Amino acid sequence: MARRSRRSIRSELNAWPGYVDALSTLLMVIIFVLLVFVLGQAFLSVALNKRQQALTQLEHEVTRLGQMLSLERSHTSALQHEVATLQKAHEADVATATSLTAQLNQQTTERDSAQAHATALDEQVAQLRQQLSAIASVLDVTENEVHDRDRKIDNLGLQLNVALAEKVEQLQHYRSEFFGRLRDVMQNHKGVQIVGDRFVFQSEVLFPPGGAELSPEGVQEIKILAATLRQVAQEIPADVPWILRVDGHADRQPIHSAFASNWELSSARAITVVKLLIAEGISPRHLAATGFSDYQPLDPGTTPEAFARNRRIEFRLTDR
């Protein structure tokens, strides 16, 4: 047993160097493989770096070529646009040349026509000269007659002016007579006065406030005026163109009645007076009614007295 034990121990001691050699060999193999791997990794890294640089250069080249291609395209587009513009300009020039050629042909035709027309006009001028010579000889004969007619026209105009002056003077005479008689008849009537060449009735004498219907007192006043006018009218010759103008006036206070404004009120009052004069026998051909609203005041003041003066009916005997 003891021998076997010593043999086992020896066997174990003899196997240990083999293990060490095997491990050493394995370690050297591993180191060799790692060295080969490291060298391969280094060579591969160098190769990859070179390829990356080559790719980078290729990318730069592609970018440069792309920029050059873009510039070339822009240049090509500009050239195409310029070609299109030149083509349009060429077409416009061709159209202009065609139009100018047509105008030249037309002007040539018109020139030929004008020359022919000028020739015809020369012939007409020659004929007109002959006619003018004949007319001049006739005018020499009729010029004296024209002078005689001018003298007659001047005389007729002078006679007409004299006649008109006489009619105006007659009208002035009858106007004075008419207003003189009215003054005698109405000199004591309140609210009646003469202003210049007008006979003035205050509205309160003839109409109620804001109304256009004559009051009983107003009817009597107008009847007196109508009687005086009838007497004077019988004396006025028929050829004297006289007319009695009835003017209605209002004040500038806002109106509060059935009338829309002072225009309607002043006109309605004048028309009412004219209607009564017609009813009293005055010919409508010698009457006229006019409304002036508040735009022809006698008194520019704003007192009740000024407003009362401006509310009035005026009578004026004048020519047509």
Q: What is the pLDDT of residues 228-279, one digit of tens each?
A: 888 888 887 777 788 899 999 999 988 888 898 999 999 999 999 999 999 9
The band of 293, judged by pLDDT with boundaries at 50, 70 and 90, is very high
55 found inside a domain: no
Looking at the whole model, is its pTM more than 0.85?
no
Q: Has residue 162 got a pLDDT over 60?
A: no
Q: What's the average model confidence in pLDDT over 101-119?
A: 84
pLDDT of the residue at 318: 81
116 found inside a domain: no
296 found inside a domain: yes
Higher pLDDT, 142 or 30: 30
Give me the number of domains the chain comprises.
Answer: 1
Provide φ and ψ at 244, rounded to 5°: -100, 115
130 found inside a domain: no
pLDDT of the residue at 127: 86
Strands 242-249 and 198-202: unpaired
267 found inside a domain: yes
108 found inside a domain: no
pLDDT of the residue at 160: 58
Q: Has residue 280 got a pLDDT over 70?
A: yes
Rounded to the nearest integer, the mean pLDDT of the chain is 81
287 found inside a domain: yes
Phi-psi category of residue 207: left, alpha or beta, with phi > 0 → left and psi -120 to 50 → alpha: beta
43 found inside a domain: no
Q: What percent of the chain has pLDDT over 90?
A: 25
Q: What is the CATH number of the domain that holds 304?
A: 3.30.1330.60
Q: Has residue 122 got a pLDDT over 80?
A: yes
> Buried b vs exposed e over 268-296: b needs ≥16 C-beta within 10 Å?
bbbbbbbebbeebebeeebbbbbbbbbee
Q: Has residue 169 got a pLDDT over 80?
A: no
Closest C-alpha among 191, 277, 275, 284 to residue 243: 284
| Gap between the Cα atoms of 215 and 222, Å rounded | 11
> Using the 8-state DSSP alphabet, how is residue 291 labeled?
E
| Gap between the Cα atoms of 237 and 170, Å rounded | 9
Q: Which helix (H) or strand (E) covers residue 315, if one does?
A: strand 312-319
Strand, coil or helix: 169: helix
Q: What's the average model confidence in pLDDT over 57-63?
A: 89
Q: Has residue 297 got a pLDDT over 90?
A: yes
What is the span of the domain harbouring residue 311?
189-319
